[in-house]
Amino acid sequence: MALAAAALAFALVTLFMPALGPLFARAWPDVTPPIYGFASFPELLLSHAEIVALASAAATAAALALGICATRPWGRDFRPLLGAVATIGQTFPPVAVLAIAVPVLGYGDVPTFVALGLYGFLPIVANVIAGLEGVPSSVREAAEGMGLSSWQILRDVELPLAAPVILAGVRTSVVIAIGTATIGSTVGAVTLGTPIIDGLVGDKLPYVIEGAVVVALFAIVADMVFERLDRYLRRHTGERGG
């Protein structure tokens, strides 16, 4: 299975990067040490994953909260603006959002986390709204008529039915976050982009390749995991053969 193969490659490369030292040394003999040494790749991965996970979790929580409010009868007034902000906001290049976070928050992990969270919020909230609004009105009417409370309808009917769409938004958000966190190393965050940037700046190609391969595999595996989740969810909302 593609996922297993990719995950295996990812794990091997990350954990055993030093073992590839001789390979890099042979191809680029004048770069020493051949393996990026400021931090080990598992450490870089952990730092990168931490920022992405925290930012995505915060973004998802905020997006769920605001998206649910915007689709309730009492919050409907804010729905058009929220939708417009989500659409227009996604036009902003992620690197610009990161760049703007710096004057306000300084350098390091914090602006990266905030930029990731802010930018990641947008595709998720757009999908929360789309997913919730996609629940057929007949289903909602039947649920209300049967005596389910608003909270029960949200929890047992609307959210499960909207789940695949919401997850697609989270998937987009996480993949973009992994990419933007890579650039975050330019503002001082410790991520898998650090060897890449250091390599580009110092003209040390092996570091660039090492960092690039690990982060590329990270992104690919993450995307594949979401794909699996998506298929699983769709099966359980009765969309495919049950």
Partner 1 sequence: MIELEHVVRSTGGRRVVDDVSFSVPAGAFCALVGSSGAGKSTTLKLINRLVPLTGGAIRIGSTDVASLPPEALRRRIGYVIQSIGLFPHWTVAQNIATVPRLLGWSEAKIGARVAELLALIGLEPSYAARFPRELSGGQQQRIGVARALAADPELLLMDEPFGALDPLTRTALAKELALIHRRTKKTIVFVTHDIDMALELADVIAIMHEGRLVQFGAPLDILERPASDFVRAFTGGASLGLKLLGVRRVADRIRVEPTSAGEPVEPSASLAEALSEMVVRQTDRLPVKGENGAPGGSVRLSDLVR
Partner 2 sequence: MRAPRNAVLLALALVALLALLGSGFITHAPNRLVSGTPFTLWNAPGGWRAGLILTLAVALAAGAFLTPARHHSATIVATASLLLLLLLDTAGVAARDFAAHAPPAARAGLGAAFWVASLSTALAIIDALQRARANPALRFAVALALAAAILALAADGRLDGLSLAREYDVRRSAFAAELLRHCALVAGSVFPALVIGVPLGIFAARKPRSRGGLFAVLNVIETVPSVALFGLLIAPLAALGLSGVGPAPAIVALTLYALLPVARNTEAGILAADTAAVEAARGMGMTTGQIFRRVELPLGLPVFVAGLRIVVVQTIGLAAVAALIGAGGLGTFIFQGIGQYAIDLVLLGAVPTIALALAADFALAMMTPRMGQEP
- Can residue 224 be called a binding residue for partner 1 (CB under 8 A)? no
For residue 171, give both structure tokens: 């998937």
- Judged by the rule CB under 8 A, the positions of this chain that interact with partner 2 are 2, 77-78, 80-81, 84-85, 88, 91-96, 99-100, 102-103, 175, 178-179, 182-183, 186-187, 193, 196-197, 199-200, 205, 208-209, 211-213, 215-216, 219-220, 222-223
Q: Are 227 and 19 in contact (CB under 8 A)?
A: no
**What is the amino acid identity at position 40?**
S
- Can residue 152 be called a binding residue for partner 1 (CB under 8 A)? yes
How is 179-218 classified by DSSP, letter by letter?
A: HHHHHGGGGT--STHHHHHHHHHTT-HHHHHHHHHHHHHH
- Can residue 103 be called a binding residue for partner 1 (CB under 8 A)? no
Return the one option of partner 2, partner 1, none that residue 73 interacts with (CB less than 5 to 8 A, by type): none
Q: How far apart are the C-alpha atoms of 97 and 109, rounded to whole Å?
A: 14
Q: How far apart are the C-alpha atoms of 101 and 84, rounded to whole Å?
A: 22
Nearer to partner 2, 96 or 142 (CB): 96
What are the angstrom distances between the C-alpha of 204 and each of 33, 184, 214?
10, 19, 16
For residue 185, report the phi and psi dihedrals to the nearest 5 degrees: -65, -20
Return the one option of partner 1, partner 2, none that residue 136 interacts with (CB less than 5 to 8 A, by type): partner 1
- Can residue 145 be called a binding residue for partner 1 (CB under 8 A)? yes
Q: Which stretch binds partner 1 (CB under 8 A): 8-16, 36-44, 70-78, 139-147?
A: 139-147
Nearer to partner 1, 87 or 237 (CB): 237
Q: Which stretch binds partner 1 (CB under 8 A): 36-44, 57-65, 98-106, 141-149?
A: 141-149
Nearer to partner 1, 31 or 157 (CB): 157
Q: How far apart are the C-alpha atoms of 242 and 239, rounded to whole Å?
A: 8
Nearer to partner 1, 91 or 138 (CB): 138
Q: How far apart are the C-alpha atoms of 186 and 107, rounded to whole Å?
A: 9
For residue 52, give both structure tokens: 């992405």
Nearer to partner 2, 154 or 181 (CB): 181
- Supply the DSSP symbol for 73: G
Nearer to partner 1, 43 or 156 (CB): 156
Residue with the two structure tokens 């959002």: 97
Binding residues for partner 1, per CB under 8 A? 136-149, 152, 157, 160-161, 236-239, 242
